[in-house]
Structure 1
Amino acid sequence: MNTLRAGLLTTAISALAAAMLAACGGGGGGSSATPTGTVNVQMTDAPACGFDHVYVTVNQVRINASSSAADSDGGWTTITLATPQKLDLLSLTNGTMATLGQATLPAGQYQQVRLVLAQNQGNSTANSVVVSGTGTEQPLATPSATQSGLKIIRPFDVAANSTVDLVLDFNACKSVVQQGNGSYALKPVITATPTTVAGIIDGYVAVAEAGATVYAEQNGAVVSGTVADSSGHFVFSTLTQSSTNGNYDIVIAQTGETTGIVTSVPVVVGATTHVSTAAQPIALPVSTMNSVSGTVTASANASVRALQATPAGTYEIASANANLDTGAYTMSLPVAAPMSGAYTGTLPVSLNPVTASAGHYTIEADAASGAVKTTPVDVTAGAQTGVNFSF
């Protein structure tokens, strides 16, 4: 794990602190002392598709009580790193985190976090990727990230005389997109979760399936992701409690194997829910893989998802970003029926094939504008090409 050295900011002048406190709904009860708390910011990552390394260099973390505050508005508290630190996001999986620093804030609620990155300059690649198997570091373009910062809107509370750990989950897989000339750009997908409302889900896949991508999903959308380690162990360390957002579905995907789905997994603050153990890991049968490819109107700046429906729900099995210049995309999907079972609290969870779903997917294109288009595909007959979307 990379650990960053971050400087503590001094508390803002009393007039500004009082204004921020009033905006946050806090109050000192007429006391001359402003109650404060501490926020400790950490970063982790979901798996990245097709990369050995995804590097970003962090300069600052900025926090504001207003979700609409612009870069030049007041009310910002800034955590400035003593030395900009280059992090390999792909080393921050399975519960591993990098600490970005701390700041003292007036007690109250905060809405916005910005992650400010260093710039690529000349031959210095502050932000870069290494495509799997190439060993070559290529620059990663970061529009706006080096100026105003990557914006994350997520309310969290800072209580007086306490510390809240805020974890930024950087989904590198969905955040890196290829351009027509073969270069790469950052289209950030980041969430923030205070550990005060979070719990853990963990489990094991068979050792032969080490390296499998594992997703925690809700309503067919990926909330967080990780990679099973060499022992088959996977961990989701900061999932919001089920009483707030509902239970989670755990989706296991790996090339050459059928998909595994464990539904209705609860999360309790401060506790760990086990979906499988080292003694009884989840083992999935092999599957032929076939590709789905096509183009999306390039100006849509779209992401593409492969969704698979079962009687228990619909799940995201794979995703890709369309090329920013050409709109081209491709995904590889299992032909075999997914294996699905509900979590009941008793292990092992029984997974059974959903035969009717074998090879059947809905391909969804999501444009940056919010427009969505879908089309069904059946990969049982082979690769599906020309699955195109026009926006």
Structure 2
Amino acid sequence: MFGLRALASCTVAAALAACGGGGGGGTSTAGSGALSVALTDAPGCGYDHVYVTVDRVRVHQDGSAADSDAGWREIVLAAPRRLDLLDLTNGVFEELGQTQLPAGRYNQVRLVLLDNGSAAPQANAVQPTGGALVPLATPSAQQSGLKLKATFDVSTNQTTDLVLDFDACRSVVRAGNSGNYNLKPVLTVTPRVATGILGYVSTTLTIAGTTVTAQQDGTVVRSTVPDATGRFVLGSLPAGNYDVVIGSEGRSTTVVSSVPVTATTTVVNGTATAILPPTSAMRQVTGTVSVPAGTATALVTDATVRASQALAGGPTVEVARVPVDATAATYVLRVPAAAPVKAPYAATGTLAFAADTAAAGKYRVQAAAPGRTAVDQAADVTTTDGVVDLTFAP
């Protein structure tokens, strides 16, 4: 994901010298500040590599400004940068650069990627786990950049530092059985701050199949994969309380609830108390997402489907999420059948987990798509796989 960091005590001149930056920087002038942008990523489920090539970042004060309108400001990379998004997890950021901007409020951010050409390697490509590297088709609107919802302020003689969070898992979509993959970018823009959550999971887990998320009210705010030592970092989290959710293949969902983030990074536990979720059979929830179209139905190929689970006494957490197939509008969610386990955050780092047997195998499966009201159904996979077809209102 990309992020912005607000450096209240760092002047523009000092920022350019000491806080990093790239194309577009310069000395401070009256009524101006600086914008610095970095990129990070959530885990890329089912992929060994997800490459994108970044050309520039554009910003505008008008949230509805068109590509040809005046007033755009840009961070232009010295040369297009081909990045493997899967290298940008666990607190790793790729600095894209910095530029001077007139002070004021900005309401639009666009990320511009290079299109694929005939040259190798391809600018944008994906390698499914165990498969070959294949081109990643980018949106038709790529010439004008990927439009991101964001509002941020640039103050005189200060640097606004943003993070663009690129969710590779949700952004790469399989196109039926064609062997092709489409890029449907899911990005968020947040301030980059020096606070977050740090902890450890057991190295006996299948690390490549383990995801750690920070959630609020069942919504994922940040996600990562642990490193080889089991260490995970959920970086750049604004102050507040978060539920840390650990999902791992063949293991029960594990929740550390109400982890506080204040002025420093919160440490959940250490290596001596590394978290090892209980074993669990895994189930599949499959289905198709559609909408009535007269006497027939139409497939909704831009939907995302997620499974959430409500624990006794709270919280409700997201357990799995996938985009539907770009051709068939089908989905497959893998979820644990066994009971989730939960422990309240303890400042001592001693976590007392207890199983929530009433929640075992019980999920809500929800489909969401742009311009449509989300729909959901219950799914019980305690003893067998489930089929949940989801239909939007016409």
With the length of structure 2 as denominator, give the TM-score of the two structures. Answer: 0.87
1:31-70 correspondence runs (5 A): 34-70=30-66
**Structure 2 Cα separation of the partners of residues 222 and 232 of structure 1:** 20
Q: Give the CA deviation at 1:283.
A: 1.5
The CA deviation string for residues 61-102 of structure 1, in whole angstroms up to 9 with x for no partner, is 011222222222222111111211110000000011111111
Give the whole-Å Cα distance in 2 for the aligned partners of 1:225 and 1:286: 22
Q: What secondary structure sits across from 1:207 in the alignment?
A: coil
- Which deviates the most, 207-216 or 56-65? 207-216
One-letter code aligned to 2:162: L
Q: Which is worse superposed, 150-159 or 307-316?
A: 150-159
Aligned: 1:91 with 2:91: no
2:192 paired residue among 192, 195, 201: 195
Residue 11 of structure 1: how far off its partner (Å): 8.7
Superposed, 1:226-241 pairs within 5 Å as 226-241=224-239
Classify 1:11/1:302 alpha carbon distance in 2 versus 1 (closer, same or farther; 3 Å): farther
* 1:144 Cα offset (Å): 4.1
Partner in structure 2 of residue 327 of structure 1: 329
Backbone CA RMSD of aligned residues = 1.9
Asked if the contact 1:11–1:105 (Cα under 8 Å) also holds between the matched residues in 2, the reply is no
Instruction: Name the structure 2 match of 1:142.
Output: 138
Match of 1:277, as an amino acid?
G
How far apart in 1 are the matches of 2:144 and 2:38?
20
Partner of 2:277: 284
Q: How many residues align?
A: 360
Whether the 8 Å CA contact 1:364–1:374 is kept in 2: the answer is yes
**The one of 345, 348, 356 aligned to 1:346:** 348
State the match for 2:309 in structure 1: 308
Alignment of 1:213 onto 2:229? no
Check conservation: 1:5, 1:81, Cα contact below 8 A. Answer: no
**Structure 2 residue aligned with 1:132:** 129
Check whether the contact 2:52–2:124 (CA below 8 A) recurs between aligned residues: yes
Paired position in structure 1 for 2:389 = 388
Alpha-carbon distance in structure 2 between the residues aligned to 1:359 and 1:62 = 45
Q: What letter corresponds to residue 72 of structure 1 in structure 2?
A: S
Give CA-to-partner distance per residue, 1:253-272, whole Å, 9 cap, x none: 01011111111112224x10
Question: Partners of 1:5 and 1:144 in 2: how far apart?
Answer: 30
Q: Report the Cα offset of residue 5 of structure 1.
A: 8.6
Give runs of ≥4 in structure 1 deviating > 4 Å: 9-12
Task: Give me the whole-angstrom Cα distance separating, in 2, the residues matched to 1:89 and 1:260.
Answer: 26
Deviation at 1:123, TM superposition (A): 4.8
* SS of equivalent to 1:206: coil
Equivalent residues of 2:175, 2:181 under 8 A apart: yes
| C-alpha separation in 1, matches of 2:283 and 2:363 | 12
**2: distance between equivalents of 1:248 and 1:358?**
22
Tell me the secondary structure at the aligned position of residue 237 of structure 2: strand
Q: Could you tell me the percent identity over the aligned residues? A: 46
Q: Pick one of 242, 249, 258 that aligns with 2:243.
A: 249
